[in-house]
Amino acid sequence: MGSVFAIAVFWLVQVSALLVFLVPFTWPLFGLWAASHFLRALGLTIIFHRYLAHRAFQLSRGARFFWAVLGTAAMQKGPLWWAGNHIDHHKYADREGDPHSPALSGFYYAHIGWFLNDAKWDALPDANPVRREFGAVPELRFLDRYFWLPPLVLAVGLYAYGGLAWLAWGFCLPTVTLAHATFAINTVNHLWGTRRFATIDDSRNNAFTALFAVGEGWHNNHHRYQRAARNGFYWWEYDPTYWVVRTMAVVGLAWDLQPVPERVYKEAEHAAITEAMALRSSGERRL
Ligand SMILES: [Zn+2]
Ligand SMILES: [Zn+2]
């Protein structure tokens, strides 16, 4: 696909979110937005991110394909491309070579510009670990090559079934909200939030981005230990991606879920104690 055409389609879809103002609002349409946003978000987090990029668990081939199709329908290019670039993000994390670092290239480029950059379009080299590991799986290769097909089928299907209202609320708006929910992990989560772990990058935990990116907002946790099946390290850190993977494990569709190691939990406890002591001593100084 020519990149000028691809960039035009990207911006066209962004603007198309405004179509929701041309149709009367109903709660079922809002439900359609939520289903389309959150189900495709799970496709991205389960397959593109935690499975392909981090190998945080194993999946049955059917479950892998199901979620991979949903993830590809998010219109964020193909699964191998997505995961391969993400590996580089962790490898260089806010240093030269990171494909999207707000500290290096500014907010706009880290949020959207990198995604539309010509040089990044098909530039995943053969040596990339994702390509080496999964490049021979025919269904993943197919989705990677024809990444435009699932979103197109979804958009046409919604329009055929429910007209403009279904297209606007089931495709246009949720594709845009999901794009920014995903991109926000690359920008917002490297700028605003709390740092439980003193990682060498700028990653932060942010409950707000976790909400729309189904648990990916615990990004400082994730940069500290990428391999874990969970990004929320505690039960109160909202991480529905992990709950879905856990449920799949119960029925035998997922296995080998990588835990957060005990030493990392110890580090977290230590950081919490140090912070509490610092707070107390600054309070005493004030008294
Ligand atoms: Zn990051
Ligand atoms: Zn990651």
List, for residues 215-265, the tens digit of each pLDDT value. Answer: 999 999 999 999 999 999 999 999 999 999 999 999 999 999 999 999 999
DSSP string, 143-156: HHHTTTHHHHHHHH
Side-chain-side CA neighbours of 213 within 13 Å: the count stands at: 27
Is the pLDDT score of 16 beyond 70?
yes
Q: Where are the beta strands (DSSP E) in the chain?
A: 58-59, 254-255
pLDDT of residue 1: 42
Give me ligand 1 centre to Cα 251, in Å.
31
> Within a domain: residue 271?
no
> Within a domain: residue 287?
no
Closest-lying ligand to the alpha carbon of 85? 2
Q: Where are the beta strands (DSSP E) in 36-155?
A: 58-59
Q: What's the rounded mean pLDDT across residues 91-115?
A: 94
Q: Count up the domains in the chain and report the number.
A: 1
> Within a domain: residue 277?
no
Give me ligand 2 centre to Cα 257, in Å.
16
Residue 150: partners with Cβ closer than 8 Å, 6 or more residues away? 69, 70, 72, 73, 143
Q: What's the rounded mean pLDDT across residues 100-125?
A: 84
Give me ligand 2 centre to Cα 176, in Å.
21
| CA angle (82, 89, 211) in 5-degree steps | 70
d(CA 95, CA 29): 43
Give me ligand 2 centre to Cα 87, in Å.
7
| CA angle (146, 160, 175) in 5-degree steps | 50
Q: What's the rounded mean pLDDT across residues 134-147?
A: 94
Is the pLDDT score of 284 beyond 70?
no
Closest-lying ligand to the alpha carbon of 51? 2
Is the pLDDT score of 142 beyond 60?
yes
Closest-lying ligand to the alpha carbon of 203? 1
Give me ligand 1 centre to Cα 213, in Å.
13
Task: Label residues 32-65 b or e (16+ Cβ within 10 Å = b).
Answer: bbeebbbbbbbbbbbbbbbbbbbbbbebeeebbb
d(CA 267, CA 36): 38
> Within a domain: residue 179?
yes
- Does 105 or 124 have the greater pLDDT score? 105
Give me ligand 2 centre to Cα 18, in Å.
31
User: If you ran DSSP here, which 8-state letter would residue 124 be given?
Assistant: -
Give me ligand 1 centre to Cα 235, in Å.
22
Reported as a pLDDT band with limits 50, 70 and 90, residue 123 is low
Give me ligand 2 centre to Cα 286, in Å.
41
> Within a domain: residue 217?
yes
Q: What's the rounded mean pLDDT across residues 127-144?
A: 92
Percentage above 90 pLDDT, the chain: 87
Give me ligand 2 centre to Cα 185, in Å.
10
Give me ligand 1 centre to Cα 163, in Å.
38
> Within a domain: residue 248?
yes
Residue 278 token pair: 């610092």
> Within a domain: residue 278?
no
Give me ligand 1 centre to Cα 236, in Å.
21
Reported as a pLDDT band with limits 50, 70 and 90, residue 118 is low
User: Residue 280 CB: number of other CB atoms within 10 A?
Assistant: 10
pLDDT of residue 277: 82
Is the pLDDT score of 132 beyond 80?
yes
**Domain residue limits at 219:** 3-261
Closest-lying ligand to the alpha carbon of 110? 1
Is the pLDDT score of 275 beyond 90?
no
> Within a domain: residue 270?
no
